[in-house]
Structure 1
Amino acid sequence: MDKFDRIYALHKLLSDARYPIPRTAIQKKLECSRSTFMRLVNTMRDYLGAPIEYNDNGWYYDSNGEHPYELPGLWFNAQELHALLAIHKLMHDLQPGLLDEQLKPVQKRIEHLLQSKHLGSGELTDRVRVLAMGVRTHADAFQKVAEGVLQRKRLKLHYHARGSNQTTQRTVSPQRLVHYRDNWYLDAWCHKRQALRNFSVDRIKQIKILEQRAEEVDQQTLQDYFADAYGIFSGKADHTAVLRFSPIAARWVAEERWHPRQEGEFLADGQYQLKLPYSNPKELIMDILKYGPDVEVVGPESLREAVREKLKLALGNYEASG
């Protein structure tokens, strides 16, 4: 009996009972230990608002003369529901062969939960959708990249960079896999550049796992390099973008999280000003451009000029054709 089944079973016991029920009788019915029983009680009290009380005779629901307590049909919050469905989708889309045997039991448990009668007997996956945008087909390299990361071995790559349209050969010490905006990336120490680099897994054209042990980079260094700046185009943040959004766009942007260290405020005229650190502006510029006339780059001037140039080039496409 899993946690959800026990919650429903305990709810039914207490709802149907005319008198308090001894703890030992409940434990026997639920097939659980005393500590498990107490965790269930605390969960139901703290997260589900269940009026569970105790006296010398046992445990019971205290309705205080009001309507009998009922469990909510679904007690996930938005983040928990997204996480559950995202895990299910990730495991469904996982490259064949990677940890198949180890992950099968986990996948079965998640599917059992999603198909549970407590969550609508399979309705959840039909009625709630998690849409992936901009997903790129993963290269066959994914499995070897993952093996290199987990086994701590160096990788020899033939990597095609979209920006330069060039293919280079690299030997890297893989540090970690990153799933970002529905695509996979590899954080690694590049022995060619003698520096940390980020690689899009779908652009790895050839890969070989080497016997040589991967060089280790401590977690704090990885965090400082890859997590400090805006987005996946990381590096130590050395600039702060100041963006000003129109009152209309502010309705959305004010509730969005662009960066863990962002600062935002509404201005007197209804505009919303957002400040955030960045290093490589490439991805930041893409996110700025999607707001079109509803955003202005206040600073720094280098970012303002880069966005202005992109807009000129875009306008040129239409002027040339018109």
Structure 2
Amino acid sequence: MSHIHQTVLAGTYPTAGRLARDIEVSERTILRDVAYMRDMLGAPLEYHRARRGYYYSRPGYAVPSVTVSEGELLSLMVACRALKQYEGTRYEADLRRAFAKIQALLPDPVSLHIGELAGTMSFAQTAPRPADAEQYRQLFRAVSEHRQIRVRYRSLGRSAAAERTLDPYHMACVDGAWYVIAYCHSRCAVRMFVPERMSQLRETGLSFAVPADFKYETYMAGAFQVLRGAGRQAVRLRFEGPLARYVAERRWHSTQVIRQTPDGSRCDVALTVGHLGEVAAWVQSFGGACRVLAPVALRRLVCDGHQAGWKANGGGGIRC
């Protein structure tokens, strides 16, 4: 909207098409922003039929200033620093443009000096996935504008890709990794897809409506991270030693209840999940510091995982 305002203010009578090309968005987005400026910001923004472009019918209009608190400004600066990990990638240009637009809306006395944060904080992501920026743009557009897509998709357990027609409902970032929740016409069900396993993405030319009863929070309810299950299982774990304090310091799941001894040497964690696979892998990462109290099925998964790892690394059999 800042670009629309500045361009119209310059008296060049820009069209929606020109504005869309300037900031690399769709004309539909420009028209939506124009409507917002008129209806919500009181902008005297009109279309001049003879000049075939937008103009202000009343001189002196200014976009309302944005009030930014100290805490909000610090949050924005931290976000900027976090995104520095994408320097040198295909995302860098888009991110710079996005933050330039945000900064243009801030009051004149406010500026962001990201370089000053370089020596005070840093962010790292474990094993990030290689990503295709253009494909992500297509996916975001398909989700936001309800465009049906067709892709070649390779499931994790299969070596060959299969053709899928998808209605993408939602995109979610979980622990730094993106996922697409979409209705799959091949499976006749809503499924979760990994963008990096997609290829040959193209739009079908058809649109779709997201069902009124679809909610991301409801769809993912019960997942420990991203794996879902049909039922709900109560999990109880016991952590002992120095790692007990580490576990008690963090929020691992929305349902967790943690009880810690006064000296911090032991903590019990209770949570409810729909799938035990991710919980088992998480428990295994703590080695002998974690004991599964319930359910028995989780204890068996953990024992099987430890035994497989022991054998793969030259050990003998173990008993659970």
What residue in structure 2 maps to residue 273 of structure 1? 268
Instruction: Show CA shifts across 1:79-137 (max 9, x none).
Output: 77654533565698564887996665137779x84417xxxxx2202431011112010
Larger displacement relative to structure 2 (216-225 or 183-192): 216-225
2:150 matched residue in structure 1: 156
- CA offset digits 1:4-26 (Å, max 9, x no partner): xxxxxxxxxxxxxxxxxxxxxxx
Separation in structure 2 between the aligned mates of residue 178 and residue 233 of structure 1, nearest angstrom: 13
1:226-258 superposed Cα distances (whole Å, 9 cap, x missing partner): 243211223555112211111321110001111
Q: Contact 1:243/1:273 (CA < 8 Å) preserved in 2?
A: yes
Q: Counterparts of 2:117 and 2:95 in 1: how far apart (Å)?
A: 27
Gap runs ≥5 in structure 1? 1-34, 48-73, 117-121
TM-score, length basis structure 2: 0.65
1:129 paired to 2:144? no
Q: 2:99 matched to 1:106?
A: no
How big is the shift at 1:167? 2.3
Query: Which one is further off, 307-316 or 101-110?
Result: 101-110
Contact 1:154-1:172 within 8 A present in 2 as well: yes
1:286 pairs, out of 281, 287, 290, with 281
- Shift of the 164–307 alpha-carbon distance from structure 1 to 2, 3 Å rule, reads farther
- Whether contact under 8 Å (2:244, 2:267) holds in the other structure is yes
State the match for 2:308 in structure 1.
313
Counterpart of 1:182 in structure 2 is 176
Alignment of 1:61-140 (within 5 A): 76=74, 82-86=78-82, 95=91, 104-106=100-102, 113-115=111-113, 122-139=115-132
Alignment length (residue pairs): 248
Q: What SS is found at the alignment partner of 1:161?
A: coil
RMSD across aligned positions (CA) = 3.6
SS at match of 2:81: helix
Give the 3 Å change call, closer, same or farther, for CA 96–151 of structure 1 in structure 2.
farther
The amino acid of 1:225's aligned partner reads Y
Pair 268,298 (structure 1): closer, same or farther in 2 beyond 3 Å: farther
Deviation, structure 1 residue 216: 0.8
Matched, 1:214 2:208: yes
| 1:43-96: CA deviation from partner (whole Å, max 9, x where unpaired) | 68xx7xxxxxxxxxxxxxxxxxxxxxxxxxx994xx776545335656985648
Q: Which amino acid letter does the alignment assign opposite residue 133 of structure 1?
A: T
Distance across 2 between alignment mates of 1:105 and 1:230: 36
Query: How far has the Cα of 1:310 moved from its partner?
Result: 0.7
Alignment match, 1:146: 140
Aligned to 2:223: 229
Which has the larger share of helix?
1
Once the 2 structures are TM-superposed, how far is the Cα of residue 176 of structure 1 from its aligned partner?
1.4
What is the SS of the residue equivalent to 2:206?
Answer: strand
Read off the aligned partner of 2:140 and give its amino acid letter.
Answer: A
Whole-angstrom distance in 2 between the partners of 1:178 and 1:202: 14
**Cα gap change, 1:232 to 1:86, in 2 (>3 Å):** farther
In 1, the alpha carbon distance for the partners of 2:248 and 2:83 equals: 28
The normalised TM-score by structure 1 is 0.65
Q: 1:256 to 1:126 in 2, by over 3 A?
A: same
Q: Deviation per CA, 1:161-201, whole angstroms, max 9, x where unpaired?
A: 22344422211110111122222111111222222211111
Sequence identity percentage: 21
1-side partners of 2:272 and 2:143: how far apart?
Answer: 29
Q: Whole-Å Cα distance in 2 between the matches of residues 101 and 80 of structure 1?
A: 15
